[in-house]
Structure 1
């Protein structure tokens, strides 16, 4: 899969928004890099993003500044990266479909996943248990002809091994993330009837529960650290997968009242906008990326 690049006439914008959709701030804009999937550092003063197969740090204090975080020992990185609760490390997904752990300020990465993995599955990281001892990821495999199987929710030890499969279709699942207490895994899934909806399942694989019931194609739920709010992306009805360069709604919902979801912003983006956890450590705000085109007027929050 090629590394994503900006289209001619396209820019990348990085925004932060208050927990209930208030006080949007455009933190950074570039026509040089397609930056994706902001994670908020535990220090609260910077975001971590991927772009061009690399990892980047965007300062939120003072003048905006984008610096590469130099990680060695990994192939090109994709947009599935999640911070270790220890605040000093980050877990990374790469284009070799393996998972790595590296110092969040740069340094040598170590391979986490088993080689070969059970069943030869590919790994797409989305969550780390708040204790830091388990990872939640989407696993899928590829047939000899190149066709991929639908993704399912797995967990594994943060030290490698002890793979546990929590879902088995029907349809694909994605975006699996632990709740702040570690009791639940929130994710999007097609198992309820053909298009992605938000659901949760207990971390032991029991208690599957559907949370959204609408015609939109809903992806990537992210839970605030205080357990009060969630964000997710709502694609137009009929959307296949989670493409980029489409109009999407970014929604905020009270965690105990999923029927109350409201659209915070309609933006041009999708893939890369909100793939991984992007809440501030104090739950006061969240971050996202948009990708406006000159030919597509973007009302992204301005």
Structure 2
């Protein structure tokens, strides 16, 4: 199934250059709307996963529009996110790029537009009904004209449309929202560009383009309410992604209708390792065919696994043969082979190798306690030493720094999950982050300079890290300092549970959720 899905994407990625009414990249169609005098077009660079779009058009305003449009037909709720930048500084100050949702390809169609102008004006604009005049924005933000690029997000939640924006490194901020009760359930949604001058053509680059389909929420932070909610949940597809830290450019190397989790970047820099369906797979770092790793009799492998600093051993967490539940820690050769059981008790979830290659750190419940604590275990003997002794709250994600001086982890002693560190013997506990988010799974870059971690929203139980959440990946110096956002995505559990830094500390890998594993709206009507 994954191979078929990859072939379909490959065909989309190689759409004809500047072709009209043809797929381009992930978009089912692209065309001029409103018959502008100067025609537009679009190309897609599969190597960088970047769109180059151009368009003319007198305006997107009054009771009709002229512009170039790349779009899909989408049903229900969705989240549209991308990075936008004009090519060149010349052009009308009101040239426009951004996301657009329309009821149809008619020039006078009702629409909702998340717009970035050439002069820095950033607004949410809408036409409530076909042929109506475009409404004035309810809010306006002016970014400096020299701003290199902006991240723009447009979300539909029921009848409400919400626009958010950010500069590189900042959290998304809401620009405005508006109810659109007359938009149909199935709409056109995609990228647009208009020159705001009938005799001109403008160009823009768009990258990190993501169309996410959130599931109906069945999570509630109140445990009593959670008990009343359905036990089943829609399963979304997953993207395995890599990202360069310096510029935040992301690349999807595997797009699957099934669940993928927790990539590790192998220390030769050539492959990634991840888990799916209870097994471990490897895949080339630039994409390709996944290969199953031999883990012997151990199955039901979860997303807590990782490679020793000596690049010879792999630790995994999974079920024990002959049992139906529980998680135990094993080690095996990185090339695959017979696993050796390390922990005798369950639940045990591996999270870090010691720099001596002889010990691991894990989280587990012991002696009948319902509280998770951090333990150091000897790989040869299985002997465990408790490094935390919490009786309330939760700890998770312990991981050694490359120099062996610290173990980084996340903990919730005060009501929010934050990043902490301690010395390898459990002493000297020190809080590293201080904000309203729930911060999980700190991962230290191989050069020891950076901490990458995932931030969950404020409205979840701080002791949980559920799937299908609006999360961010953040980066902060190990020496201390303010964190910055490096990725905005729909994900959570399995996104970055284990260290996934590239060996040169320049890139990182993670998993994001995508659409449900089902046919597009256009296919359902056949």
Residue 497 of structure 2 is aligned to residue 275 of structure 1: yes
**Counterpart for residue 161 of structure 1:** 382
- After superposition, residues 117-132 of structure 1 pair within 5 angstroms as 117=345, 121-132=346-357
Q: Is the 1:55–1:71 contact (alpha carbons within 8 Å) kept by the matching residues of 2?
A: yes
Partner Cα distance (1:85, 1:174) in 2: 20
Alpha carbons of structure 1 residues 44 and 124: separation in structure 2 relative to 1, 3 Å: same
5+ residue gaps, structure 2: 1-231, 320-325, 518-526
Partner Cα distance (1:77, 1:37) in 2: 11
CA RMSD of aligned residues (A): 2.0
**Counterpart for residue 271 of structure 2:** 46
84-93 vs 19-28, which moves further: 19-28
C-alpha offsets along residues 12-43 of structure 1, whole Å, 9 cap, x if unaligned? 11111123453322222111x31100001111
Partner SS, residue 269 of structure 2: coil
Q: Is the 2:419–2:439 contact (alpha carbons within 8 Å) kept by the matching residues of 1?
A: yes
**Counterpart for residue 98 of structure 1:** 328
The structure 1 residue matched to 2:338, chosen from 108, 133, 142, is: 108
Q: Is the 2:446–2:505 contact (alpha carbons within 8 Å) kept by the matching residues of 1?
A: yes
**Counterpart for residue 19 of structure 1:** 245
Partner Cα distance (2:298, 2:314) in 1: 13
The Cα shift of 1:140 comes to 1.1
C-alpha offsets along residues 157-189 of structure 1, whole Å, 9 cap, x if unaligned? 121333111111231100000011111110000
The structure 2 residue matched to 1:239, chosen from 421, 444, 460, is: 460
Residue 289 of structure 2 is aligned to residue 289 of structure 1: no
Partner SS, residue 441 of structure 2: strand
5+ residue gaps, structure 1: 296-302
The Cα shift of 1:294 comes to 5.6
Partner SS, residue 99 of structure 1: strand
**Counterpart for residue 93 of structure 2:** none
Q: Is the 1:73–1:110 contact (alpha carbons within 8 Å) kept by the matching residues of 2?
A: no
Q: TM-score, normalised by structure 1?
A: 0.86
Q: Is the 1:6–1:34 contact (alpha carbons within 8 Å) kept by the matching residues of 2?
A: no
Counting matched residue pairs gives: 277
Q: Is the 2:377–2:383 contact (alpha carbons within 8 Å) kept by the matching residues of 1?
A: yes
Partner SS, residue 214 of structure 1: coil
The Cα shift of 1:141 comes to 4.1
Q: Is the 1:217–1:238 contact (alpha carbons within 8 Å) kept by the matching residues of 2?
A: no
Q: Which has the higher contact order (CA 8 A, sep 6+)?
A: 1
C-alpha offsets along residues 110-137 of structure 1, whole Å, 9 cap, x if unaligned? 2122x3x4xxx52110000122111011
The Cα shift of 1:56 comes to 0.5
15-24 vs 73-82, which moves further: 15-24
- After superposition, residues 25-44 of structure 1 pair within 5 angstroms as 25-31=251-257, 33-44=258-269
The Cα shift of 1:52 comes to 0.3
Partner Cα distance (1:174, 1:196) in 2: 10
Rg larger in structure: 2
Partner Cα distance (1:142, 1:14) in 2: 38
